Amino acid sequence: MKDYLVKALAYGGYVRAYAINATAVVAEAQRRHDTWNTASAALGRSLVGGLLLGATLKGDDKMTVKIQGDGPAGAIIVDSNGKGDIKGYIQNPHVSLPLNDKGKIDVRGAVGTNGVFTVIKDLGLKEPFSGQTPIVSGELGDDFTYYLAVSEQIPSAVGLSVLVDTDDSIKTAGGFMLQVMPGASDEVIDALEERLKHLPNVSSLLEEGKTPEDILEIIFDGEAIMILEDSPVQFNCECSKEKFATAIITLGTSEIQAMIDEDHGAEAVCSFCGEKYYFDEPELEALIQEITGEKE
């Protein structure tokens, strides 16, 4: 089953609903960064959350979510846009903690319970929008929910779920986001809260073969929902050797000369996708020539 995200309306438009299967995205991130189980779940939930928040963007708009907790995972950074692209990384991919007291992967233990949750949106305006809230849970779903409530004043419920296999690979990953629009009645909010209490994990529903549409049907349990659109999501990093060459040029000639003299080349690694780019001595010489404008 391919990854995709569904947008819908429920309760006469008073609730906006999003559900996603992001199994392939999270699996690719796991492979690219060689994350161990707890880190896989932490990065995976962040990617799912980034895609759900990103679903509110348009076209070329971009967003960065940075989760900086005090746990062993270190910082988690995900970048998404209005086209369903996402990339991301976790500072310490090799985090594997014992299961928590509920027998679940201890994402909170990896992320930590103190720190900051930051969202930066580039909406093509002069200044980017930036919002910041403290980490309140460390399990991440509640942290996305808290961010939306406090920073964007949108009462929401966000569920993020990753099922990690015993060999650290990803079985399923997905989630949902419900946003309550102004004017919704208390009955609507109470009914939603009641339903969410009994909702199984999205990753388990995906494992049973349920689609994002099915997940919305289960959440709204008989309530009329209007599907607005479904759209593909994908892990996509736009890095290239040319971009790294531009970055190396900014280091200046003496720095590049040192790479030639001491290392006889340079290797650049993209932190977002793990792709490696190698520059040999003639390529580095060419970069110096670009700076100095000299011709041989």
Q: Which stretch binds Zn ion (CB under 5 A): 116-124, 153-161, 229-237, 276-284?
A: 229-237
Q: Which stretch binds Zn ion (CB under 5 A): 39-47, 54-62, 112-120, 239-247?
A: 239-247
Pick 122 or 275: Cβ nearer Zn ion: 275
Closest by alpha carbon to 83, among 51, 131, 123?
Answer: 51
Size of the site for Zn ion (CB under 5 A): 6
Q: Is 270 in the site for Zn ion (CB under 5 A)?
A: yes
Distance CA(82)–CA(63), nearest Å, equals 9
119: enclosing H helix or E strand: strand 115-122
Q: How far is the CB of 30 from Zn ion (least distance, A)?
A: 16
Binding residues for Zn ion restricted to 98-137, rule: CB under 5 A: none
Q: Is 268 in the site for Zn ion (CB under 5 A)?
A: no
Closest by alpha carbon to 204, among 223, 224, 218?
Answer: 218
Distance CA(255)–CA(290), nearest Å, equals 14
Pick 201 or 271: Cβ nearer Zn ion: 271
Q: How far is the CB of 54 from Zn ion (least distance, A)?
A: 17
Q: How far is the CB of 268 from Zn ion (least distance, A)?
A: 10
Name the CA dihedral angle for 130, 140, 29, 80, rounded to a multiple of 10 degrees.
-30
Class of residue 6 by CB neighbours under 10 A (exposed 0-12, middle 13-18, buried 19+): buried
Single residue of 89, 144, 272, 277 touching Zn ion by CB under 5 A:
272
Q: Is 260 in the site for Zn ion (CB under 5 A)?
A: no
Pick 260 or 273: Cβ nearer Zn ion: 273
Closest by alpha carbon to 138, among 175, 85, 100, 167?
Answer: 100
Single residue of 178, 273, 284, 288 touching Zn ion by CB under 5 A:
273
Q: How far is the CB of 239 from Zn ion (least distance, A)?
A: 3
Q: Is 89 in the site for Zn ion (CB under 5 A)?
A: no
Q: Is 86 in the site for Zn ion (CB under 5 A)?
A: no
Phi, psi (5° rounding) for residue 169?
-75, 170
Sign of CA dihedral 183, 188, 194, 200: negative
Q: Is 256 in the site for Zn ion (CB under 5 A)?
A: no
Closest by alpha carbon to 47, among 15, 74, 73, 21?
Answer: 21
Q: Is 29 in the site for Zn ion (CB under 5 A)?
A: no
Q: How far is the CB of 273 from Zn ion (least distance, A)?
A: 3
How many residues in the chain? 296
Single residue of 237, 260, 287, 288 touching Zn ion by CB under 5 A:
237
Which residues of the shown chain bind Zn ion in the complex (CB under 5 A)?
237, 239, 270, 272-273, 275
